[in-house]
Amino acid sequence: MTITAAADGSALGNPGPAGWAWYVDDTCWAAGGWKHATNNQGELKAVLELFRATAHIDDDLLVLCDSQYVINSVTKWMKGWKAKGWRKGDGKPVMNLDLLKEIDEAIAGRRYRFEWVKGHVGHPLNEAADERARGAAEAFQRGRPAPAGPGFHGAAGHGAAGHSAGGHSAGGHSESSAPEPTAAKVTERPAERVTEKATAYPHSELFSFEELGDDIGEDDGALTDLHGADVLRSTGELHRVTLALSAEEHGRLVQRSAARGVTIEEFLRGLI
C-alpha cells in the first residue's frame, strides 16, 4: 500500500511569518509555523513532519512536492553533502543544515519517492497543503494560534503538536532550521487565498530564487524554486519586464538555462 501526501511551505515576505503543512485528506493533515522563517524552511519542515507522522506505518510513501530544491536536496545532493561534511562543492556550509540532518534521520530505512507537482495550478492535494501552510503563516502574522490539523491516525503525538514558538532570523549563508512550531487548534478558517495570476500571464512561470550572490553558479542547490506567488501576494503586485536581446545574446541565454535544467524565465529570475 502507498500513502500519497502533499507537503508544502509558505513564507509571507520570505523571510517572514511562515508555515508548513502536509496533507493526505481532510481527516489526515498537520500544519504549523513560525514568526520568522523562509519558504525553503517551510518546505523542508513539511516533508520532515510527514515522515515523522508516518514513522509507525510500514507502507510506501509518495510525497507530492512543488519544491525542486527540497526534492533535489533529499534525493540528489544530500549524499554528496554528507560525504563532504555537510558542505557544498565550493566548501560553504549547507543551508538549512539542522532540518536536512533531521530529514536524513527520518528517511532512514523508509520506502519513499518524491513526485514534483507544479504549484498553484489546481492540484487538489497540493492546493490543500498550500492553503494550510499559508493559513499557518497568516496566523503567525496576525499573532493568532496556528491551525494544527488532526495529524496522522496512530502516530505518536497525534493531534496538536503543542510545541512552543520562538523568533527566528535567517540570513546570508548561515540559514538554519527554524524553531519548533506552535500548533494549537482553532476553529477559525484560514483567510481566503489570492488566486494566481495565471490567466493574466498565461506564459509566466511564477518562480523566484532565494540563494543569490556568491551561490549563483553552484551546481548543488544554488538555484532554488520558491513560491513566487506567495511573495507576489504579500505585495499585491506582479511587474512584467520586457527584455530585448540580440540573436547571439538569446542563444547564450538558451544555452545557460538549458545547462541549469530550468526555463529561460527561471534562469533570469535567479539573476535578479
pLDDT, position 161: 38
* Residue of 130, 131, 196, 220 marked catalytic: 130
For 62, half-sphere exposure in the C-beta direction (CA atoms, 13 angstrom radius) is: 11
Per-residue pLDDT of the chain (272 residues; tens, 9 = 90+): 899 999 999 999 989 999 999 999 999 999 999 999 999 999 999 999 999 999 999 999 999 999 999 999 999 999 999 999 999 999 999 999 999 999 999 999 999 999 999 988 889 999 999 999 999 999 999 999 988 999 998 766 544 333 323 333 333 333 444 544 433 332 233 333 322 322 222 222 233 333 322 232 233 433 334 344 343 333 344 455 666 676 667 677 777 766 666 677 766 766 66
* Residue of 19, 49, 66, 266 marked catalytic: 66
Residue 158 included in any domain: no
Residue 120 included in any domain: yes
CATH value at residue 60:
3.30.420.10
- Which helix or strand (DSSP H or E) is residue 115 part of? strand 112-116
User: What does the alpha-carbon distance between residue 216 and residue 193 come to, in Å, rounded to a whole number?
Assistant: 32
Cβ partners under 8 Å of residue 217, min gap 6:
none
In this structure, the answer to whether residues 112 and 232 fall within a common structural domain is no
User: What does the alpha-carbon distance between residue 239 and residue 229 come to, in Å, rounded to a whole number?
Assistant: 12
Which one, of 133, 271, 130, lies nearest residue 195 by Cα? 130
* Residue of 19, 42, 43, 119 marked catalytic: 43
In this structure, the answer to whether residues 232 and 119 fall within a common structural domain is no
In this structure, the answer to whether residues 8 and 137 fall within a common structural domain is yes
Residue 153 included in any domain: no
In this structure, the answer to whether residues 132 and 238 fall within a common structural domain is no
In this structure, the answer to whether residues 217 and 137 fall within a common structural domain is no
Domain count, the chain: 2
Residue 90 included in any domain: yes
* Residue of 19, 33, 120, 196 marked catalytic: 120
pLDDT, position 263: 74
* Domain stops at, among 96, 119, 141: 141
* Domain stops at, among 96, 122, 141: 141
Distances (CA, A) of 202 to 95, 122, 225, 234: 33, 14, 19, 21
Residue 118 included in any domain: yes
pLDDT, position 127: 97
Backbone angles phi, psi at 80, to 5 degrees: -65, -40
Q: What are the tens digits of pLDDT across the range 44-84?
A: 999 999 999 999 999 999 999 999 999 999 999 999 999 99
pLDDT, position 149: 95
* Residue of 9, 19, 228, 270 marked catalytic: 9
Domain range holding 224? 213-271
Residue 201 included in any domain: no
Question: b/e for 208-218, b at 16 or more Cβ within 10 A?
Answer: bbbbeeebeee
Verify whether residue 8 is a known catalytic residue: yes
pLDDT, position 158: 47
Residue 195 included in any domain: no
Q: What are the tens digits of pLDDT across the range 184-219?
A: 332 233 333 322 322 222 222 233 333 322 232 233
**45, 170 contact by CB (below 8 A):** no
Report helix, strand or coil for 225. Answer: strand
Verify whether residue 58 is a known catalytic residue: no
In this structure, the answer to whether residues 10 and 137 fall within a common structural domain is yes
Residue 9 included in any domain: yes
pLDDT, position 241: 63
Backbone region of residue 269 per phi and psi (left: phi > 0; alpha: psi in -120 to 50; beta: other values): alpha
Verify whether residue 26 is a known catalytic residue: no
* Domain stops at, among 92, 121, 141: 141
Residue matched to cell numbers 502536509: 22
